[in-house]
């Protein structure tokens, strides 16, 4: 049995997980929950890249999708809500 034959089921599993996670992101309506679900999707994509033997891309994906992107979107949501509150108070 070759290494490629043993990796094929694992690759199929992570591709299915990625498709399910992407679908979950699309159907999540609340912005804060969508940030969390998108972070999980990023982790799944990190596993996909690792299984496909691209550890450098996996590391980049890990940093961007689970740390940088959620922090930036969360900061934007907080800022918009703060502006909305200030306008309502005036």
Model confidence pLDDT, tens digit, residues 66-88 = 789 888 988 998 999 999 999 99
Backbone angles phi and psi of 74, in degrees to 5: -65, -40
pLDDT band at 3 (very low <50, low <70, confident <90, very high): low
> What pLDDT shows up at residue 10?
87
Q: Which residue has the tokens 């740390």?
A: 67
Q: CA torsion 23→26→31→32, rounded to 10°?
A: 10
Mean pLDDT for the stretch of residues 23-35: 92
Mean pLDDT for the stretch of residues 8-35: 92
pLDDT band at 1 (very low <50, low <70, confident <90, very high): low
Domain boundaries, the chain: 3-89
Asked whether the beta carbons of 48 and 15 are under 8 A apart, the reply is yes
């Amino acid at each position: 049995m070759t290494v490629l034959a043993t990796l094929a089921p694992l690759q199929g599993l992570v591709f299915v997980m990625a498709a399910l996670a992407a679908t979950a992101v699309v159907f999540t309506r609340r912005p804060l929950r969508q940030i969390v679900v998108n972070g999980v999707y990023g982790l799944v994509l990190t596993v996909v890249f690792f299984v496909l033997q691209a550890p450098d891309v996996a590391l980049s994906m890990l940093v961007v999708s689970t740390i940088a992107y959620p922090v930036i979107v969360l900061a934007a949501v907080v800022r918009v809500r703060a502006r909305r509150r200030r306008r309502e108070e005036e």
